Each structure stands twice: as C-alpha cells, then as structure tokens.
Amino acid sequence: MINNLILLFIEFFKIGLFTIGGGLATIPFLNALTITHPDWITQLDISNMIAISQSTPGPMGVNMATFTGFKVAGIPGAIIASLALALPAFIIIVIISKYLSNFNKKWYVKDAMYGLRSVVLALIIFAVSNVFKITLFDYDFSIKYVELLLFIIFFISYKYIKLHPTIYIFAGAILGIILKLPS
C-alpha cells in the first residue's frame, strides 16, 4: 500500500507539474497512465470521469486524481493523488507571486506563453477527440446513433439557445437514464 501511495504521489505530482491549461490538459497525461498503469485507469474511466467532473463541483483534474487515487488505494490514495496534482501549481504560484509585478513583463514569459497556448490547444483537442471517439463509436467503429443524435441536439441547442451548462448536464443525465432503461 505504501508503494502505491508513493507511486500515486510521483505520477500525479508529474501531471500537476506539466499540466498547463486547466483540467482538460490533464487528459493526455491520464491517457498515458492507461498505458503505464492500466490497472489504475482505463480510457472508459477517463471518458466517464470527464462527464462526472463536468457535473460535480471542483476542478476536473483534481476530480480525476481523486477518482484514480481512490480506485488504487482508497481514501488515502484519493487524498495523496489530489494533493500531489495540486502541489506543483501551489509551489509555482508562491514563487511567481514573489516576483509577480515583473513576471508578466518579461519577454521570455510572453514568448513562452505564446508557444504554450498552441501546445495546450493541441493537447485539449487530442483529449476531446478521444472522448468523441469513446462516446460516439463502438470498439468496431460502428456509430452509436443515439449518442450521436444527443450530441447533435445538445451541440446545436447550446450554440443557439445558450442555457446554463448545468441544465444540459442534467438533461443529458436524465435522457441517458431514460434511453438506457432495461427493457
């Protein structure tokens, strides 16, 4: 158990250290965990956690760390993984805040942010494409027509009606329950 907690701390500290761009940016790192630690988390877990994280309070990355940590080592694992994910940002912000007045004005900071935005966008689009694939296609790549129809309805509805996202989340959950009721 201690070895799992140490490994959880190391893996999620690394994710926290290199995740730039918020919760969605953790997804490529979690995808890597599906390869290095397939007993910890699967692609389906990630897809489900994205849906759950969008409908529960708290940052997506921390929710995913908590889920994975709990799956691996119970409550101690959930705590360790969550703290490890958040700790790098805390350390970096404490360091930056000491020099904040000059930090944003440095040419290399502006140039780094210019490059980082493109990387973060690529990572997020990759993560979204994985969720898209898991949600709308079966393992044999046949289309899940009901899920596709729901996606189109919610996409168009959100684009044009623009209700609060919580309404769409609850509507999706309710429709999912109704459409998947056992016959």
pLDDT class for 110, splitting at 50, 70, 90? confident
Q: Name beta bridge partners: 11.
A: none
Mean pLDDT of 22-28: 76
**Residues contacting residue 67 through CB under 8 Å, at least 6 positions apart:** 41, 45, 49, 52, 78
Whether the pTM exceeds 0.85: the reply is no
**d(Cα 138, Cα 5) in Å, to the nearest integer?**
34
Determine what percent of the chain is predicted with pLDDT higher than 70: 93
What residue has token string 């759950």? 52
Question: Burial letters for 34-65: b for 16+ Cβ neighbours within 10 Å, e otherwise?
Answer: beeeeebbeeebbbebbeebeeeeebbbbbbb
**d(Cα 155, Cα 177) in Å, to the nearest integer?**
19
**Tens digits of residue pLDDT in 155-166:** 999 999 988 888
The chain-wide mean pLDDT, for the chain, equals: 84
Residue 155 one-letter amino acid: F
Task: Supply the pLDDT for residue 176.
Answer: 84
**d(Cα 24, Cα 124) in Å, to the nearest integer?**
6
**Tens digits of residue pLDDT in 54-105:** 767 777 888 888 989 999 999 999 999 999 999 998 888 888 777 666 766 7
